[in-house]
Amino acid sequence: MEKKALLYEGKAKRIYTTEDPGLLIAAYKDDATAFNGLKKGQIANKGILNNKISAFFFTLLAQAGVDSHFVKLLSDREMLVKKVEIIRVEVVVRNYAAGSLVERLGLEEGPPLSRPVLEFYYKNDALGDPLINEDHIAVLNLATPAQVGIMADQALTINEILTRHLQTRNLLLVDYKLEFGLHQGNVLLADEISPDTCRFWEATTGEKLDKDRFRRDLGGVEEAYQEIYRRLTGGEN
């Protein structure tokens, strides 16, 4: 499958059309941003690692009965995906206190939460992706209540599948962001699942193995992404 026209360029990926109107190619870049684009940089080989890590997670989820837009890997940096109309709601699930939750609620970073916390954010760069609730989603016409219900159910199912798998690799799934799209009228998991969109902590040492290393200038960013890939697959990239 060949790339045709550039359909869309995001912060971390370019999306191309193909000769099949139902299929797109997602090409993963090394560009990294944080704080709504305020901080910019590059993480060597991130595009390759996130492409392969996302493919790994989408395959794991498919085996557990959760479909996504992922069709197959095409190359180091490219995957073939089903065309979806992205729902402009980011779905975040949190298992440990970290990130913006800690800031918003005045918590200490680190402890497990007594239950998973589900949040919705309005996918709108100009507004800085504000936290929203189901009423906001309804009045903004971002999704129907039924679609919100499906996204919430899938996000929590995905939480169980990923948490269980990562445990076997001695990794904690701290939190993560999912995006969904509409495909032939149905809600379908889309975008990526990678160290850009998840927080992973080493279970024994608590070491951060995700984009927080870039956000907070902790160093060893590429090595952290490599380590996630290595633990998931046992392979070289």
Under the rule (CB under 6 A), what is the footprint of ligand TMP? 92, 99-101, 129, 175-177, 197-199
Dihedral angle, C-alpha 140, 66, 55, 222, nearest 10 °: 70
State the nearest-atom distance from the C-beta of 83 to ligand TMP, in Å: 22
The residue (of 92 and 187) whose beta carbon lies closer to ligand TMP is 92
State the nearest-atom distance from the C-beta of 11 to ligand TMP, in Å: 9
Query: Do 19 and 1 meet the contact criterion of CB atoms below 8 Å apart?
Result: yes
Per the DSSP assignment, residues forming a β-bridge with 192 are none
The residue (of 9 and 20) whose beta carbon lies closer to ligand TMP is 9
Rounded-to-integer distance, Cα 24 and Cα 3, Å: 8
State the nearest-atom distance from the C-beta of 95 to ligand TMP, in Å: 10
For the residues of 36-96, what is the DSSP string, one character each? TTTEEEE-TTHHHHHHHHHHHHHHHHHHTT--BSEEEE-SSSEEEEE--EEEEEEEEEEEE
State the nearest-atom distance from the C-beta of 101 to ligand TMP, in Å: 6
State the nearest-atom distance from the C-beta of 217 to ligand TMP, in Å: 16
The residue (of 56 and 176) whose beta carbon lies closer to ligand TMP is 176
Dihedral angle, C-alpha 116, 117, 118, 119, nearest 10 °: -160
The residue (of 31 and 129) whose beta carbon lies closer to ligand TMP is 129
The residue (of 74 and 121) whose beta carbon lies closer to ligand TMP is 121
Which single residue brings its beta carbon nearest to ligand TMP?
99
